[in-house]
Structure 1
Amino acid sequence: MDEETRYEAVSSRDARFDGEFFFGVRTTGIYCRPSCPAVTPRRKNVTFFPTAAAAQGHGFRACRRCRPDAVPGSAAWDVRADVVGRAMRMIGDGVVDREGVPGLAGRLGYSARQVQRQLTAELGAGPIALARAQRAHTARLLLQTTGLPITEIAFASGFASVRQFNDTIRRIYARTPSELRTESGAGPRTGPSTGTGARTALAAGVPLRLAHRGPYAAREVFDLLAAEALPHVEEVLGTPGARTYRRTLRLPYGTGVASVDETAAGPWLEARIHLTDLRDLTTAVQRLRRLFDLDADPYAVAERLGAGPALADRVAARPGVRSPGAADPEEFALRTLLGPEEAARLVLTHGTALDTACGSLTHLFPEPAALTGHPFAGPLATALTTGALRLDAGADRDEAEQALRAVPGMTAARAALVRMRALGDPDAAPAGSPVDGPGAEAWRPWRSYALRYLEAVPASSA
């Protein structure tokens, strides 16, 4: 998009572009999402930015009305397989917070200087600034939804010090953390400075609104998750239209149990996450976003898939069909290879039991290291354990698929399915599927979505 097209989107308050770019208003020092309801500023006063971090880096503060830090992520990061796209997915997963820029660069196979240069050149901000913007959003979420003491929120959000936390919040939101908390409408919160406050927040869980762009066909997503639900690890409760998906999560610092509701009251899905360590909040949120494909661009998908007669009626009948990902890529790969019955058996024999069961959710899926001796899944588990095969958020999709195909029992179709779901590739084409062949070229780069339309939306639905 050129700048004039972006300004037209701002003038029409077009929510389709929320998260795809941001704009700053020089006369006010505030940056917004395109759909901000405020009076449209004059063109000469507007500056455009590819990321919130870039706007913050130029001294702009987040708008209080449209909360630009809470928009869906850009769909470009899921489509792109280059170093910038991979880096953005890994930053979203919290790699910079846990491993620093050297860790991010090492995973990408580049030097820290090269990663810094590429991200800054294209996105207007380096990895540290991008991670800081994400930490600030996590901090605001915790300030406004939990009773955690502010000191504990600082470290739970990934900040290295309370001073850094306070300075960042003031710079981005133009308020102190205490003022930001009071503004939430819940009033000032009080409580012990340590211990009890954290335990109370952990027990209550963190309520979330997982934003998405455009229409969201929740029924098809929940149908798929219900059909795949693995006992003791996942469950879907309720009746169609009012279901809740729940699952256990293995996270970098601890464990979690997440629940997501099918019914939506706005452009988001209601969720709640219970964590044993709040430092895992950012990672847990990103994994749910990938599982529910919340950063997709349904408008771009509909424009491409609806252009031909093969899918036009289905796309028109069910706008917003998503291509679900996986909450745990390694788990998904192992389950794909093992099949549902053997996977369910291994949960009880090799999975890790939760300290406290949550209804029927009692276990985490086994870690790959626990399955290296399995007669069938052993080679795949070994490759995952040694790092010969990487399925993390920034993995190279082509390299991962090649490594998967070398695993005994992992057929080309299974490897492509893992690529589609575990690696979130929007253009995967499993061998032998309706999107595998010359006739499906017109659906690129959205063949994963074409497959979901063919599988989940009956031709007669239109």
Structure 2
Amino acid sequence: MDDDSRYEAVRSRDERFDGVFYTAVRTTGIYCRPSCPAVTPKRAHVTFHPSAAAAQAAGYRACRRCRPDAVPGSAEWNVRADAVGRAMRMIADGVVDRDGVTGLASRLGYSPRQVQRQLTTELGAGPVALARAQRAHSARILLQSTALPITEIAFAAGFSSVRQFNDTIRQVYARTPTEVRGGRTTPPQDRAGVPLRLAHRGPYAAREIFDFLGRRAITGIEEMTGEPGARLYRRSLDLPHGSGIAEVGEHDGKGWLPARLMLTDLRDLTTAVQRLRRLFDLDADPYAVAERFAADPHLGPLAAARPGLRSPGAAQPHELAVRAVLGQQITVAGARTLGGTLVAAYGKPLPAPDGALTHVFPTADALAGAPLGELGMPGARRRTLRTLCAALADGTVTLDPGADRDATEAALLALPGIGPWTAGYLRMRALGDPDVFLPGDAGVRHGLAGIGATAADAEGWRPWRSYAVHHLWQVTPAARTGHRD
């Protein structure tokens, strides 16, 4: 896009571009999302920025009306596999907050100076500024939704000092932390936890996503409550500083899903939010996917029938890797039963049970040397599971959000017992690659046959073949049950 086309998007309040770029108005000193409902500023008064951090660095403060810090992330970072795309996924996961720029650069295989230069060139801000903008958003959520003292919020949001916290909030929101809170010393809370609105772009096929997660929910770490249309997905999370319980509601609040996080350590807020965003694929661009599929005679009708169908990711990548091995050559229901047995035998108990949630999923370390006799699987499958967990534990295989997808797939395929289906499934879900096709999947084959297509047709579905897989899984009962080779 050039600036003129960006301005046209602002004039039409086009929500497709929320999170893709930000509009800054010189006369007011405010930056907005493109779909901001305020009066459209004159073209001469407007500049555009590729990130909220860039707008903040240029001296603009966030609009109080459209809350540009709360938009979905750009789908570009899911598509791109280069260093910038990988860096953005890792920054969103909190790597800079935990390990600093040096840690980020080390994971990317570049020097800190190279990472700074690449991000500044493309996004108008370096890794510190990008992480700082994210911390400000986390702080606003805590200020407006919890009764925590402001000092505790500062450190929970990832700031190194109260002074840095105060300065950042004033710069980003043009208000003090107390004013952001609304002048209340104890914000109202209907029950425990941090309430959230998880924003998404465009239509969202919530029923299909909740069906997908519900069919795979493992006893002890996941549960689905309520009736279709008003279901609540709940699961435990093993986080860098502690554990947590996440709840996400099926009801689409016109651009967002309602959620709540109960964390043992609030420093995990940013990481937990990003894990939910990946699990529910909330940063996808359904408009681009629909445009690609619309002209295809086979897939077009499927996409039109289910607008906003997402490709769910993973809340915990190592967990998905284990579940993928458990699911080799058996049904989804069978894999779910095995998963429940595994959790009961090797999972770490929560500090206190919460409903049906009793454990967090076992770590890769715990499973690498486990006998796994409780599972009743063939010996070769148990060996595969232990080998995979050992590779995850020692870093031979990395499933972090910013991992190199090609290198990770190659490392997976080098492990005994890991074939193209498992490696592709992990690339699609654990690594969030939107362009994975699974020709060996039985459900995909059933789906192709049901619409009169062949695997060769999938070449025309790039770069969104992961979404095509989910459409194919919806075609026939056999596809929906998820039989796999």
TM bucket (normalised to shorter chain) is over 0.9
Partner of 2:32: 32
Alignment of 1:21-420 (within 5 A): 21-182=21-182, 188-190=184-186, 204-339=192-327, 340=335, 341-374=337-370, 375-376=382-383, 377-420=385-428
1:430 aligned counterpart, secondary structure: coil
Higher mean alpha-carbon deviation, 431-440 vs 94-103, is at: 431-440
Q: String of CA shifts for 1:325-370, please: whole Å, max 9, x gaps.
A: 0100011001111232332222111110001000110001100000
In structure 2, C-alpha distance between the alignment counterparts of 1:297 and 1:70, rounded to whole Å: 16
Q: String of CA shifts for 1:252-279, please: whole Å, max 9, x gaps.
A: 0000000100012321000000000000
Contact residue 142 and residue 153 of structure 2 kept, 8 A: yes
In structure 1, C-alpha distance between the alignment counterparts of 2:341 and 2:296, rounded to whole Å: 44
User: Mind listing any 5+ residue stretches in structure 2 that lack a counterpart?
Assistant: 328-334, 371-381, 449-453, 478-485
Contact residue 438 and residue 469 of structure 2 kept, 8 A: no
Contact residue 414 and residue 430 of structure 1 kept, 8 A: no
2:321 aligned counterpart, secondary structure: helix
In structure 1, C-alpha distance between the alignment counterparts of 2:191 and 2:358, rounded to whole Å: 16
Number of aligned positions between the proteins: 447
Partner of 1:421: 429
What is the CA-CA distance between 1:457 and the residue it aligns to? 5.2
1:236 aligned counterpart, secondary structure: strand
TM-score w.r.t. length of structure 2: 0.90
TM-score w.r.t. length of structure 1: 0.94
In structure 2, C-alpha distance between the alignment counterparts of 1:42 and 1:382, rounded to whole Å: 59
User: Mind listing any 5+ residue stretches in structure 1 that lack a counterpart?
Assistant: 192-199
1:314 aligned counterpart, secondary structure: helix
What is the CA-CA distance between 1:373 and the residue it aligns to? 1.7
Q: Which contiguous aligned blocks of 4+ residues in structure 1 show a shift greater than 4 angstroms?
A: 200-203, 433-436
Assess, with a 3 A threshold, how the Cα gap between structure 1 residues 57 and 11 changes in structure 2: closer, same or farther: same
In structure 2, C-alpha distance between the alignment counterparts of 1:447 and 1:87, rounded to whole Å: 23
In structure 2, C-alpha distance between the alignment counterparts of 1:349 and 1:92, rounded to whole Å: 33
Partner of 2:20: 20
Higher mean alpha-carbon deviation, 432-441 vs 44-53, is at: 432-441
Q: String of CA shifts for 1:263-304, please: whole Å, max 9, x gaps.
A: 123210000000000000000000000000000000000000
In structure 2, C-alpha distance between the alignment counterparts of 1:66 and 1:132, rounded to whole Å: 20
In structure 1, C-alpha distance between the alignment counterparts of 2:411 and 2:189, rounded to whole Å: 42
Q: String of CA shifts for 1:223-264, please: whole Å, max 9, x gaps.
A: 100111011011111121111100000000000000100012
Higher mean alpha-carbon deviation, 80-89 vs 337-346, is at: 337-346
Contact residue 52 and residue 133 of structure 1 kept, 8 A: yes
Contact residue 146 and residue 186 of structure 2 kept, 8 A: no
In structure 2, C-alpha distance between the alignment counterparts of 1:181 and 1:352, rounded to whole Å: 36
What is the CA-CA distance between 1:190 and the residue it aligns to? 4.1
Q: String of CA shifts for 1:67-121, please: whole Å, max 9, x gaps.
A: 1000000000000000000000000000000000000000111110100000000
Assess, with a 3 A threshold, how the Cα gap between structure 1 residues 458 and 350 changes in structure 2: closer, same or farther: closer
In structure 1, C-alpha distance between the alignment counterparts of 2:66 and 2:475, rounded to whole Å: 34
Contact residue 94 and residue 282 of structure 1 kept, 8 A: yes
The aligned amino acid for 1:350 is Y
Contact residue 237 and residue 243 of structure 1 kept, 8 A: yes
1:104 aligned counterpart, secondary structure: helix
In structure 1, C-alpha distance between the alignment counterparts of 2:413 and 2:324, rounded to whole Å: 13
The aligned amino acid for 1:146 is T
Alignment of 1:412-451 (within 5 A): 412-433=420-441, 434=444, 437-451=455-469
Question: For 1:453, which of 467, 471, 475 is the aligned residue?
Answer: 471
In structure 1, C-alpha distance between the alignment counterparts of 2:52 and 2:80, rounded to whole Å: 19
What is the CA-CA distance between 1:44 and the residue it aligns to? 1.0
What is the CA-CA distance between 1:438 and the residue it aligns to? 2.8
The aligned amino acid for 2:474 is A
The percentage of aligned residue pairs carrying the same residue is 65
In structure 2, C-alpha distance between the alignment counterparts of 1:26 and 1:277, rounded to whole Å: 40
Assess, with a 3 A threshold, how the Cα gap between structure 1 residues 101 and 426 changes in structure 2: closer, same or farther: same
Assess, with a 3 A threshold, how the Cα gap between structure 1 residues 457 and 212 changes in structure 2: closer, same or farther: farther
